[in-house]
Structure 1
Amino acid sequence: MKASDVADRARVMAVLVRVQGPDPKGLKMRGHAFHLRENGITTLSLSGLLLPPSLAGSISIYSAQEGRGDGLVVTIASAVESFTIAKQRLPVDHQEAAPELIPGAAIDILLDVGKSEATAWHRAQLLSIVDVSISSAALKALGRSLNGSTDYGSWELGWMLSPMDSSLQNSGVNFIQRGVAGAHQSSMSTKVAFLWVPGLDVKGMLPINVSREQKKGDFLFAMGSPFGILSPSHFLNSVSVGAIANVCSQNSRPSLFVADIRCLPGMEGGPVFDQDKSLIGIVSPPLRQKNTNTEIQIVIPWDSICASCRDLKKNREEDVFQNPAKGLNETLSSSVGKAASSVVLITVGNEAWASGLVINDCGLVLTNAHLFDPWRFRRHSREEYVGPSSSQLVREETGHNDNPVIKDGHSGMVYKGYKRIRVRLNLDAPFRWSDAKVVYISRGPLDIALLQLESIPRGIHLIIPDFICPAQGSRVHAIGHGPFGPQSDVSPFFSSGVVTKVVTSKSTLLEYQSGDEALPVMLQTTAAVYPGMSGGAIINAVNGRMIALITSNVRHAGGATLPHLNFSLPCAVLKPVFDFAEKKADKSVLEKLDKHDTLLSSIWALVPPPQPTPRSRLPLDDLKVNDGKGSRFAKFLSERSGGEVNDDLMPLLKGKLPRNMPSKL
């Protein structure tokens, strides 16, 4: 089904929610990405889902109200909570009593019915604010794993454009601006608000199905109003499409979705549908990382919202998020699912972790060298090759590292402070762990390393490489362990995009396998790549085969990370590694990859390739020297250089030294 068909159905159910009220000190707008403020009145907006009678009847909060035939809207509680009486903002497990708005506050909704704004706005009443406990528990567990697995800054709930000020933790907008660590862990919640719209006739709305079989990689369609209150005529019911990146489950039922979809502030509360126009859930504010601009979009499942409304006293956070990975790989298409099963998680001590790929049935794992030797790659890109063209963008290796020390079993080199290497295999839950040892770490320009598993379980899945690089615009998936590290039980992160650029090279390092032909040496995609995905795979979306090894994304000089601009090593470059894994070649083929190559190094340092310095040559006949030793030496050079002599050798041949030649003492 086309996205336009889903849009026609979604437009009937998606609404713009406007919340406004007195705010003489400007406190209500703080913590929100955008607002309007005039004459002491602050106006906020977000999106909402207008429920047809087929869904509204299942909400116990609504069925107890008079005027059941009127409209019912569900949205995210953040903006609404800002205008409730202060005592009702205190953390509670669940709230049954109808919360009260502060005097002078009001809530309105705008329907996309093709009418003018003056006739389309409807006044709404706040019925209840409910914590979707199943989703909140999954979000807290996810937040703990994120904050415990990264050195790039803690994670919080809220939009990147929203100011995050710790001094506001006791103000009314605690949903947006509190972090997930320490004492503020309890504020990591997925609260929703139910709004009753008296006089709004929804009896003519068609029934809507609820999607029951959400799978990783499934199509997502979101509709909402980003920055809606700033200009409803421009932003009402905008569309975004993407895919499910991961699923957090309780008792085999989804409790939270991680979405590979681009949403903007104001879209929270908007409905999310599958390709069959069935309702999946509503958009939540994303998880965002301090010190970068990384956002991970969250979707609250509709079933979780209904479960919290049916039993407001039930709260089993301890049973949530135990095995979210069970069966997830099988939910992907068979080819992509098998590729995801070959993606492993690698830990080095307690600090470093990244992804890897199983490449043979003997337990050989391919990953990135910077996981074990981080400073070598950073030194090359920042010291040797940094120039004006690279001053704004720097490749950022996407593995977590605290300078571990490893022994390279291939070369005998020892890296300071040996730490235990463990590999978590992505098989059926529970996950299986195996110790591993280093087989090879590249000392050349290619960011690759090989590990050997010490125990090889049955049913191990191998990655299947495709040595033909796809063309620009080809659809791809990125699969790796993303920001979800060893402290979580989440299976590999899944994102989608297209190939944006293929960089080729005639590097001397690759002559033995390519001859005079240029090989693809770098692949760029728009698929989101986050810290922890180093060593993961770029997969062809059509056949599920690996086309490249993920190495890095980009960090701007200002500190912002750009996950949708990333780099990977094409399989065409990695063919010697796969030949070694299949025992088609010995270790000598790996030794050739250790050679220094200025051209490849410059490509991966994001700088122009070095240009040879042109040197003028003079014919030998122009030399005015006597026939002696000097002339015989000049003749020798002429024969070696095709009858020409470099002009910088002229003084030596004429028996003269330049005045500015430095001397060696």
Structure 2
Amino acid sequence: MISPERCSCIVSASLVKEVQVNPAAESQRDGSWGCSGLLLHPRRRLVLCHGQTFFPFLRRPKRNLGRRPFLLPGAFHSDLQIQVQFPGTSSSTQPELAMSLASNDTGALNSESEPRNLDCRPRLSSLTPGQAKAKRSSPAEMLMVFSCQEFGDIFRTLFSKSDKWYFYSEDKNQEVHGEPLDLAWFALLWCPGWVDGGSVCGEEALRYVRSESLSKGQPLFSCASPFASFCSEIFMNTLSQGIVSNLAGERNALILTDARCLPGTEGGGVYIRSQHLYYLAGLIVAPLCWKANDWVGLTLVCSITCILETMRRILNGFEIFGPPTLTAPGSHRLTRLLGTAALLESNRVWGSGVIVSPRLIITCRHVLDRAPSVRVKIQSDSNSCLALKGRVVFATKETSPYDVAVVELDEDLSSIEIPTIASDFKTGIISSNARNNNGGATYPHLNFSLPITVLWPVLSAYNQTRDVAVFEGLNRGSKHLRALWRLQGSTSVPQRSKL
């Protein structure tokens, strides 16, 4: 079995002339133009990483880049130097690898940079088999940089500039504002001088899962290197855990996850685990994103299924991997609860709610925007969307310490499995993020929740009596409770730190 840590790597790019003139510039350039990567196949020494790392080294400005499915090495600066840092060492023999480009794609290459009389085949000469000194890093040769069309299509649909989406990268600490579709590009590299693959990772290729079989709520893991080559002895191949937050696009080309990722992890792998084995699900493309001025705490991942299919089309059916080794990961407990989440829309405000009975939904007061009724959308188990209407039967006053409201649907829900409060619904509903009113910063990963132990008694009473007066107790609260919700201390004497 290949573990995520043993097949992950760091890819850095620089210009040879810069390194020769000023050796100190190498680390600066590597730190700025670097990303995470994956050793796709140890025997073939093939590395897959994010393509945006190489765009600063294009020989000509990026014009009409979206019209080209891929670029060959001739499109980039002749002094481009690529270095790949691996986690382990050993030695083995060298294979020969020749891959021919699909004939219908050759015309889409960068004709300004590629002479017409060149054979449009990334061909690797065989090296003499034998022993070689083990290395922790190896020079790499670029085979191609290519765009994943399925990911680009859904990305263009969901993240339009008019909605003020911004994506940040490690490069120069600036947002990918002018060309957000650069996120859909990936690079295939070859490391002819690295001979550690056989013993470090074994001879088998990575296992991967078909993206169509993924489902929301599945646990997943990421293995990548924050800040790329910066302090790799500390950050290299850092693990993070989360779930599949959502899926979109053809063959689930876009995967959203709440796994914590940082700049430099672009190109790193995201995995699911089944039967004690890890299966590659996709590559990280955007660890940080903002909508307007609000940070969205989700990471964008491109499906490995779509990436591999794009490579097959370009390489004339050349198979780096065989068929997916896991096609049905199985169901998960969290997936069963997805049907209990509702989307509520009132006026121009929208938010989430939780179905607690066949007709009742609890949500936050601020989601309703003082509207007497709301539109409700619920995704059932069959992936069909139910569109319903509901009326607001109760909403707490603005002076209440509880930001909560109750919506009653016009009809019963028969196809939704209601959670059992004692076993499934153990905490409550999210009320808000934490916000620093002095500095204006919002912390999306620090959330306030309304305890279900407070809400459930009055919800049960209303189900029995249909008397709205049972909710009035939520409008009353002690001074101590109000202070807690405002993060105000109960003592007037500041506490000294003992650190």
- TM-score under structure 1 length normalisation: 0.57
Corresponding residue number in structure 1 for 2:9: 15
- Asked whether 1:47 is paired with 2:36, we answer yes
Q: Does 1:575 align with 2:468?
A: no
| Matches of 1:16 and 1:278, distance apart in 2 | 20
- Opposite residue 261 of structure 1, the aligned amino acid is A
- Offset at 1:552? 0.7
Q: CA deviation at 1:312?
A: 4.7
Displacement of 1:91 in angstroms is 1.9
Letter in 2 for 1:281: G
> Structure 2 vs 1, CA of residues 581 and 546 (structure 1 numbering), >3 Å: closer, same or farther?
farther
Aligned to 1:216: 216
- Indicate the residue corresponding to 1:301 in structure 2: 303
Match of 1:28 in 2: none
Farther-moved stretch of structure 1 (274-283 vs 88-97): 88-97
Matched, 1:454 2:450: no
Query: Which residue in the other structure is 2:173 paired with?
Result: 163
Q: Is the 8 A contact 2:266 2:286 kept in 1?
A: yes
Aligned to 1:341, which of 335, 339, 342?
Answer: 339
Please tell me whether the aligned partners of residues 71 and 197 of structure 1 are also in contact (alpha carbons under 8 angstroms).
yes
What's the secondary structure of 2:308's corresponding residue? helix
**How far apart in 1 are the matches of 2:351 and 2:474?**
22
Change (3 A) 1:424 1:599: same
Alpha-carbon separation, structure 2, partners of 1:188 and 1:103:
22
Question: Cα offset for 1:109?
Answer: 0.9
Name the structure 1 match of 2:66: 92
CA distance in 2: counterparts of 1:39 and 1:139, whole angstroms:
34
Q: Hey, what's the Cα distance between the residues in 2 that align with 1:71 and 1:211?
A: 21
Corresponding letter in the other structure for 2:279 = S
What is the match of residue 77 of structure 1?
51
Aligned equivalent of 2:191, options 197, 222, 225 = 197
Question: Which residue identity lines up with residue 240 of structure 1 in the other structure?
Answer: S
Larger Rg: 1
* Paired residue total: 418
Q: Which of 351, 356, 359 is equivalent to 1:359?
A: 356
> Using the alignment, how far apart are the partners of 1:242 and 1:262 within structure 2?
7
Matches within 5 A, 1:39-438: 42-43=29-30, 44-52=33-41, 70-87=44-61, 90-100=64-74, 101-114=76-89, 119-144=135-160, 148=163, 154-159=164-169, 163-164=173-174, 177-178=176-177, 187=181, 189-201=183-195, 202=197, 205-212=203-210, 213-250=213-250, 253-275=251-273, 276-289=277-290, 290-312=292-314, 332-334=331-333, 336-349=334-347, 351-361=348-358, 363-372=359-368, 404-407=369-372, 421-427=374-380, 428-438=382-392
Mapped pair 1:547 → 2:427: yes
- Tell me how far 1:132 sits from its aligned partner: 0.8
Shift of 1:42: 2.7
Match of 2:396 among 428, 442, 447: 442
1:459 partner amino acid: S
Aligned to 2:421: 465
Give CA-to-partner distance per residue, 1:338-371, whole Å, 9 cap, x none: 432111000011x10011122222x222111122
Q: What's the offset of the Cα at 1:451?
A: 1.5
- C-alpha change, 1:114 and 1:52, in structure 2 (3 Å) is closer
Amino acid at match of 2:141: Q
Name the amino acid aligned to 2:371: I
Q: Distance in 1 between matches of 2:355 and 2:417?
A: 7
* Contact 2:341 2:352 survives alignment (8 Å): yes
Structure-to-structure mapping, 1:455-604, within 5 angstroms: 455-466=411-422, 543-556=423-436, 557-583=438-464, 586-595=467-476, 597-604=478-485
> Does the 8 A contact of 1:352 with 1:371 survive in 2?
yes
Question: Structure 1 unaligned runs (5+)?
Answer: 1-5, 25-35, 54-68, 149-153, 165-175, 315-327, 373-403, 408-419, 467-542, 612-665
Three-state SS of the structure 2 residue aligned to 1:215 is coil
SS for the counterpart of 1:42 is: helix
Give CA deviations for 1:280-324 in whole Å, capped at 9, x if unaligned. Answer: 22222235114344442122221110111223599xxxxxxxxxx
Report the AA paired with residue 450 of structure 1.
V
Measure the CA separation in 2 of the matches of 1:442 and 1:291: 28
Conserved in 1, the CA contact under 8 Å of 2:269 and 2:283? yes
CA shift for structure 1 position 422: 0.7
User: Which amino acid in structure 2 is aligned with residue 163 of structure 1?
Assistant: N
Contact 2:365 2:405 (C-alpha < 8 Å) held by counterparts: yes
Q: Equivalents in 2 of 1:605, 1:139: separation in Å?
A: 38
- Map Cα deviations across residues 105-137 of structure 1 (whole Å, 9 max, x no partner): 21111121158x994322212221111111222
Q: Separation in 1 of the partners of 2:451 and 2:171?
A: 35
CA contact (8 A) 1:220 1:243 kept: yes
Whole-Å Cα distance in 2 between the matches of residues 602 and 23 of structure 1? 62
Partners of 1:161 and 1:70 in 2: CA distance? 29
Q: Residues 465 and 41 of structure 1: is their aligned pair in 2 closer, same or farther, counting only changes over 3 Å?
A: closer
Is the Cα contact below 8 Å between 1:369 and 1:442 reproduced in 2?
Answer: yes
Q: Which secondary structure state, in structure 2, belongs to the residue aligned with residue 209 of structure 1?
A: coil
Q: Following the alignment from structure 1 to structure 2, what is the Cα–Cα distance between the partners of residues 332 and 160? A: 36
Aligned counterparts of 2:379 and 2:301: Cα–Cα separation in 1: 24
Output the CA distance in 2 between the equivalents of 1:298 and 1:37. 33
Q: Quote the Cα distance in structure 2 between the aligned partners of 1:303 and 1:73.
A: 16
Write the distance in 2 (CA, Å) between the matches of 1:281 and 1:39: 30
CA distance in 1, matches of 2:6, 2:491: 58
Q: Distance in 1 between matches of 2:228 and 2:315?
A: 35
Q: Does structure 1 retain, via aligned residues, the 8 Å contact 2:39–2:47?
A: yes
Query: Conserved in 2, the CA contact under 8 Å of 1:160 and 1:288?
Result: no
Q: Any idea what the Cα deviations from partners look like across 1:467-489, whole Å, max 9, x if unmatched?
A: xxxxxxxxxxxxxxxxxxxxxxx
